[in-house]
């Protein structure tokens, strides 16, 4: 059985949390372990650390503030995040970045929080797990200014166009690909682009409970995505890339091990 690492699982504070033990065990049964649990704000990051400690063999986590929560970022946040990041279970700063699609936080606050978290990642020499939606120009400018000092930079759930992909690859970013690529409507462009991501820059993820692969048959009754479905996504991507599924799974697994220093 191939091995997989799901690099983005929203296990805390949402639809998966109450059944987390079953979800983790179902993932492990499919060869998906460890899971990287996402911290979307500082309080959730603290809970993600506690959950990862509870499942030491199967969970790691990130710690950070998502752009949706950037309004919560204040002068004390950097120190709080520095303390959280000292946990050995924290393998990246994030999820941080910019989201101009929903603007749940004012854009200046998003930029301030993003820049502060990148600066902390540089200080701590931790990789950073990032989010970008409809904010390519500002995102690129902020990351470009700091890229040479970042030890690793991952744009998770990449769904952009060719221009943005090429710009991010030129900055030596890793790109996380989700089940979005399995959607023949919204994911058609990504299905073409995924063939051109270098072998050493592609990572795979579910971003569960979101983005259940549209092409799955039969569809899960719950309509919720889970880490156990990562092998399906991996095989779908391997087919698009005209690669042997086992070889692709091994490359993605090794990329994740190297990026998060597991």
Please state the rounded mean pLDDT for residues 153-177: 97
In this model, does residue 46 exceed pLDDT 90? yes
Number of domains forming the structure of the chain: 1
pLDDT band at 15 (very low <50, low <70, confident <90, very high): confident
Give me the count of residues in the chain.
Answer: 262
Q: Each residue of 185-239: pLDDT tens digit? A: 999 999 999 999 999 999 999 999 999 999 999 888 888 999 999 999 999 999 9
66 marked as part of a ligand binding site:
no
In this model, does residue 155 exceed pLDDT 90? yes
Amino acid 1: pLDDT = 87
Q: Each residue of 57-70: pLDDT tens digit? A: 999 999 999 999 99
Average pLDDT, whole number, for the chain?
A: 96
Q: pTM to 2 decimals?
A: 0.96
136 marked as part of a ligand binding site:
no
In this model, does residue 254 exceed pLDDT 90? yes
In this model, does residue 73 exceed pLDDT 90? yes
Q: Are strands 128-133 and 153-155 parallel, antiparallel or unpaired?
A: parallel
Q: Each residue of 113-146: pLDDT tens digit? A: 999 999 999 999 999 999 999 999 999 999 999 9
The answer to whether the CB of 154 falls within 8 A of the CB of 127 is yes
Residue 75: which CATH number?
Answer: 3.20.20.140
Amino acid 42: pLDDT = 97
Show the domain range for 17.
4-260
207 marked as part of a ligand binding site:
yes
pLDDT band at 37 (very low <50, low <70, confident <90, very high): very high
> Please, how many CA atoms are within 13 Å of residue 197, restricted to the half-sphere of its CB?
32
pLDDT band at 56 (very low <50, low <70, confident <90, very high): very high
> Please, how many CA atoms are within 13 Å of residue 108, restricted to the half-sphere of its CB?
1
> Please, how many CA atoms are within 13 Å of residue 33, restricted to the half-sphere of its CB?
16
Quickly tell me which residue has 């993600």 as its tokens. 48
95 marked as part of a ligand binding site:
yes
In this model, does residue 40 exceed pLDDT 90? yes
What DSSP string describes 37-81? EPP-SHHHHHHHHHHHHHSTTTEEEEE---GGGGGG--TTHHHHH
Amino acid 221: pLDDT = 82
Amino acid 90: pLDDT = 98
């Amino acid at each position: 059985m191939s091995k997989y690492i799901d690099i983005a699982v929203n296990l805390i504070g949402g639809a998966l949390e109450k059944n987390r033990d079953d979800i983790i065990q179902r993932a492990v049964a499919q060869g998906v372990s460890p899971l990287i649990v996402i911290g979307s704000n500082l309080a959730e990051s603290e809970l993600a650390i506690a959950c990862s400690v509870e499942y030491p063999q199967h969970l790691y986590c990130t710690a950070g503030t998502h752009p949706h929560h950037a309004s919560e970022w204040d002068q004390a946040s950097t120190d709080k995040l520095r303390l959280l990041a000292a946990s050995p279970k924290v393998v990246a700063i994030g999820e941080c970045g910019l989201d101009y699609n929903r603007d749940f936080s004012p854009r200046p606050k998003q930029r301030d929080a993003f820049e502060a978290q990148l600066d902390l990642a540089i200080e701590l020499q931790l990789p950073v797990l990032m989010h970008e939606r409809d904010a390519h120009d500002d995102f690129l400018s902020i990351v470009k200014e700091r890229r040479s000092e970042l030890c690793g930079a991952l744009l998770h759930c990449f769904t952009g166009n060719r221009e943005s992909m090429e710009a991010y690859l030129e900055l030596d970013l890793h790109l996380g690909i989700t089940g979005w690529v399995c959607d023949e409507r919204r994911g058609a462009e990504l299905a073409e682009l995924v063939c051109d991501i270098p072998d050493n820059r592609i990572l795979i993820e579910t971003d569960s409970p979101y983005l259940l692969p549209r092409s799955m048959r039969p569809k899960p009754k719950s309509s919720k995505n889970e880490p156990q479905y990562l092998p399906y996504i991996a095989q779908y991507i391997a087919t698009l890339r005209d690669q042997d599924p086992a070889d692709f799974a091994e490359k993605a697994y090794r990329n994740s091990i190297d990026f998060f220093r597991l």
